[in-house]
Amino acid sequence: MDLEEPTPQGGAGTQELATDGPPAAKIRAIGNTDVEKLKANLELLCKLTLSNTQAVRALKTIVMQTFKIPNESPFYVAYKKGTKKFNDLIEAASSPQQKAKVAPPMVYCWNEIVKYVIGLGGNIAKAISESAEGWTQEAVMDQIRHMQISKMYGGTHSRLEVACPGSIVLERAATMIDPDATNLSPEAVWIVIKDCLIKTEGTVVLRGRAPPGEMERQVQQLLDAVKAKS
């Protein structure tokens, strides 16, 4: 009986099988090159992300007015009433078409804040109330471009951001608001609301560029670590 192991096809034994195809070192080199390319691309992506977040923080100081308000502030409460109304309308909508007819959350938040200011009374309250009856959804959205509340670090305060470019023009022109007017625009009313907001206990006007957020800090730390190793 022949106990000798059969020779693999080709006659070169196991040695030929070990060298068949690209050498192992070449395979490892290709793999390492791909990993290095991936690392470089990820680093580039982090740099782009960091650059964009820094640019956004700078732009916010130009187009938005920002306020720090306590979570028990009546303005915070009114804003939350608006978001609840929006959510209730969306939940009650039985079709995508009906949901599409619901205004953006900002409109309902704005309406609730206006109601709160009217409820405070004063000479201007009647003028705001009568003017608000004639506002359309489009008029509010055209003049109050952005309104949003977001949580701040610590959980006891929130950041209120409002973009109303026209109000800046009116304020700089020292435009007086007639208490007997019945056609006040949303941007004119925002001047009144802002004055009330600033006088509300706990409100702080935030000026200048906001500090980096948590995610931006993490990206910066990652890039710093990569730089330290290179």
- C-alpha span between 144 and 163 (Å, rounded): 6
For the beta carbon of residue 112, count every other beta carbon within 10 angstroms: 19
Structure tokens at 194: 């802002």
pLDDT tens for 43-79 read 899 999 999 999 998 988 888 999 999 999 999 999 9
Mean pLDDT, the chain, integer: 84
DSSP class per residue in the chain: ---SPPPPTTTTHHHHHHHSSS-HHHHHHHHHHHHHHHHHHHHHHHHHHHHHHHHHHHHHHHH-EEEEEETTSHHHHHHHHHHHHHHHHHHH--SHHHHHTSPPHHHHHHHHHHHHHHHT-STTHHHHHHHHTT--HHHHHHHS-EEEEEE-TTSSEEEEEEE-HHHHHHHHTTPPPPTT-S---HHHHHHHHHHHHHHSTT-EEE-SPPPP-HHHHHHHHHHHHHHHH-
Which pLDDT does position 111 carry in this prediction?
Answer: 95
Q: How confident is the model at residue 42 (pLDDT cuts 50, 70, 90)?
A: confident
Distance of CA 129 to the CA centre of its chain: 31
In a 10 Å sphere around its CB, with 0-12 CB exposed, 13-18 middle and 19+ buried, how is residue 212 labelled? middle
pLDDT of 9 strictly over 60: no
- C-alpha span between 60 and 161 (Å, rounded): 9
Residues 6+ apart with CB under 8 A from 53: 212, 213, 215, 216, 219
Which pLDDT does position 100 carry in this prediction?
Answer: 92
Q: Region 196-208: what's the mean pLDDT? A: 94
pLDDT tens for 112-171 read 999 999 999 888 899 999 999 889 889 899 999 999 999 887 889 999 999 998 877 677
Which pLDDT does position 7 carry in this prediction?
Answer: 52
pLDDT of 25 strictly over 60: yes
> Facing residues of 205 across strands?
67
pLDDT of 27 strictly over 60: no
